[in-house]
Amino acid sequence: MKMNPQHFDVVVIGGGAAGMMAAGRAGERGRQVLLLEKNKILGKKLGITGGGRCNITNAEHNVRLLLKNYGAGEKPLYSPFSQFGVEETFAFFEGRKLPLVVQERGRTFPKSEKAPDVVRVLENYCRENGVVIKTNTAVENIILRKEKPAEVITHHGTYLAEAVIVASGGVSHPETGSTGDGFLWLKACGHTIVKPTPGIVPLAVRDSWIKNLSGVTLEPMKITFFLNNKKQFSRSGKILFTHFGLSGPMILNCAATVGDLLHEGEVTAKIDAFPLEDEGAIESRIIRVFDENKNKTLKNIFKLIAPPGMAKEIFPLINRDFQDIKVHSVTVARRKKIIQTLKALPVTITDLMGYDRAVVADGGVDVKEIDMKTMRSRLHHNLFIVGDLLHIARPSGGYSLQLCWTTGYIAGSNV
């Protein structure tokens, strides 16, 4: 005997940040909600964000200033962010006994600095509001018809819904289940999908000296990028050296621009290891070190001149002929060479790392096809689209999760 499909007011596809927020909010409003998640647990990607610390938001409470970080999304996001923005995010989590702490550049974390605490709050929000949660349930297709309930087809069976909220994520961190399935369903429903690119990613480099410094993090540093030897732009901040190249928040936020340059020609960079000192100040410091170590070899005292942990790898960049030279034999010209190298360490950028290392990939549904006041599709009255499925660029630093909280809450409030 064939079983009739279960019927819900709302089916939410995806148990990540936006999906849990949307499901909990819809349930809070008395809707009968089913939350479907393909993984064994909810919030798998959320549990690894911010290195496991979870950068919940950025503490910029002025909506207009905050939205300047979203590129072309600034104008369409004004309405949803005015309804549920940073202030409401603080109130939501702290009101559920998860105190937040603001760190450098407005980055906001749970005080515990444990991402699973954020997942727990959201899962409790869903359960307290009667949301039916089904994990290990992969969605295969969505069928939308006018005047009829939507059908959500899974490998466990079909569910009927008066409305569907798609929150299945983009294509960053595919190991967490973000494999872009939602783009396929939404394209089949008639939506325009802007091809995603891994926009917030580390940079791959050719230089062995950088790869050999894997694990070293230094701040402040300044990096200047060049296209075919012509200066393009500079950024200052923290740089993390890795076995494949360069990472850290400042590098991640340069990636999209560097990616555009890579299409045009050779991209190189110069790292200023001492951006707060001019050449004169560095020379004075070097002379002082030399005076105190006149009879030692330059190689052995170079650690007193170079940034912490970097001496061994960057010494060969100065001149391999310096290997055994005594400090008292270093000429003025050679001293200048040391200074110039420290102010312009050479880098050759070969590529952006892929989706597997992306913090956020852009691309997704064109926001012109969505009523951003409600997150409802303009093509289907019973379809809502949220979170990383939206084609909205944003930097790292809490902006992506804030997009998820906002769009998820708005969809849950209007479904």
Scanning 293-378, the segments in alpha helix (DSSP H) are 298-301, 311-318, 332-342
Count CB neighbours of 316 within 10 A. 13
Tens-digit pLDDT profile for residues 174-219 = 333 444 678 888 888 889 888 766 556 789 999 999 999 998 998 8
CATH architecture, range 6-198+359-414: 3-Layer(bba) Sandwich (3.50)
State residue 169's pLDDT score: 75
Tokens 């091809």 belong to 195
Q: Across the beta sheet with 100-102, what order do the strands follow? A: 57-58, 107-110, 100-102
Contact status, residue 154 vs residue 56, Cβ threshold 8 Å: no
pLDDT at 321: 61
Q: Which residues have a Cβ under 8 Å from the Cβ of 98 and sit 6 or more positions away?
A: 110, 111, 112, 117, 118, 121
Q: According to DSSP H, which parts of 32-168 are helical? A: 63-67, 78-83, 86-94, 115-128
The whole-number pLDDT of residue 48 equals: 72
**SS3 call for 89:** helix
Chain centre to alpha carbon of residue 234: 20
| Poorest-pLDDT segment among 33-42, 283-292, 391-400 | 391-400
Bin 193: left if φ > 0, else alpha if -120 < ψ < 50, else beta. Answer: beta
Residue 81 and residue 83: Cα distance in Å, rounded? 5
Predicted TM-score (pTM) of this structure: 0.66
- DSSP H helical ranges for 63-195: 63-67, 78-83, 86-94, 115-128, 181-188
Q: Are 36 and 14 in contact (CB under 8 A)?
A: yes
CB atoms within 10 A of CB 264: 10
Comparing 276 with 362, the larger pLDDT belongs to 276
Give the position of tokens 């936006």: 18
Closest alpha carbon to 361 in 179, 122, 147: 179
CA distance 57 to 397: 7
Instruction: Report which residue type is found at 308.
Output: P
Q: CA 199, 110, 235, 75 torsion: positive or negative?
A: positive
Concatenating the DSSP letter of every residue in 136-168 gives: S--EEEEE--TTS-EEEEETTEEEEEEEEEE--
76 φ, ψ to 5°? -65, -25
What is the number of other CB atoms lying within 10 angstroms of the CB of residue 321?
8
Q: Indicate the domain borders of the chain.
A: 6-198+359-414, 202-353
Q: What is the pLDDT of residues 133-164, one digit of tens each?
A: 999 999 999 999 888 899 999 988 999 999 99
Express each pLDDT in 251-282 by its tens digit: 888 887 887 787 677 899 999 999 999 999 99
Question: Distance between CA atoms of 396 and 28, rounded to whole angstroms?
Answer: 30
What average pLDDT does the chain have? 88
Residue-wise pLDDT tens digits, 366-385:
899 999 999 999 999 999 99
- Is 318 in a helix, a strand, or coil? helix
β 57-58/107-110 pair status:
antiparallel
Q: Helix, strand, coil % (nearest 5) of the chain?
A: 40, 25, 35
